[in-house]
A = this chain, B = another copy of it.
Amino acid sequence: MLGGFFFKKEQGGNKVKHLLNMKNLQINDIEMILERAYEFQNGAVSDLNNPTTVANLFFEPSTRTKMSFEMAERKLGLHVLPFDASASSTIKGETLYDTVKTLEAIGVDAVVIRHEQDGYYEELMSGIDLAIINGGDGSGQHPTQSLLDLYTIKEEFGRFENLHITMVGDISHSRVAKSNAEALTRLGANVTFLCPSRWQGDFESLSSWEAVLPNSDVVMLLRVQHERHESELSFSKQQYHEEFGLTRERYDQLKQSAIIMHPAPFNRDVEIASELVESEKSRIFRQMHNGVYVRMAVLESVLKERN
């Protein structure tokens, strides 16, 4: 059974440190990462001394996560080997294990992987010595997104305890919702869900805009993942927006201190009214900005063991 934010194992005397998911992540580990990210944001330089090489294996399209890692890697002074999934030997039928083992043999120290298969990393836990950072697995987890969300909330409020977090949208298909809800609850926040009942997944309680608007400190909008379940959608974008989107009317009922978050890419006028994307309460682009520092902290942490 896999689990744990940082999964450590002994192999040939080496500790291998990965970042796979948020499940068993210790609060201490979260705090360490957030603190180090804060230091990076304020000009700290990497503790890594030796030449270190990473590769970003994105088997699904991505702009912001991949670019954010690329930026973090350069700010840390790492060598970054370009990997093009569409032109790789995987199209000759190579397994993910063999691809990753190949990169290890070539001398790569860590890989960031985004892959459409939930828990793709389980087959990599035995036999692989390089460090793995999960950049998103199917509809599973996306731990660096969770961490940058946490960072953004901490940056805003200085705490998690007793914050009222409302998650709105496609909870059952969202990596982010699953990772975040659990971590936020452990950190002391109160998490409420607002979603169409068909997308409720394992989550028990639903709420309504009327109930959450006056109390929410954070409104986390989730992406409508058109590309994952286009055919099952029984309502139009406009209907979604009217029922579950953040409209100007709803925005105006939020507390003065409330903030709006979205993991992006967002669908304008679906999850959020286009005019609100860069509104005063929106932290959507701030999240992306913060993500670079959080990923620097994660990369440094897993690489430090090997340096």
Contact = CB atoms under 8 A, between A and B. Distances in A.
Interface of A: 51, 53, 55, 58, 61-64, 67-68, 70-71, 74-75, 79, 81-95, 98-99, 101-108, 127, 226-227, 264-268, 277-278, 285-286, 288-289, 291-292
B55 A92 contact: no
B226 A93 contact: yes
A172 to B, nearest CB: 19
A286 B89 contact: no
Contacts of A82: 70, 82
Contacts of A265: 89, 92-94, 98
Instruction: Count this chain's copies in the assembly.
Output: 3
Given A70-B82, A94-B265, A99 B63 contact: yes
A263 B94 CA distance: 13
Contacts of A227: 92
15 contacts: A51-B75, A53-B71, A64-B102, A71-B107, A71-B108, A85-B87, A86-B86, A89-B265, A94-B265, A98-B265, A98-B268, A98-B277, A102-B264, A106-B289, A107-B292
Contacts of A75: 51
Nearest to A93: B267
B81 A62 contact: no
A88 B61 contact: yes
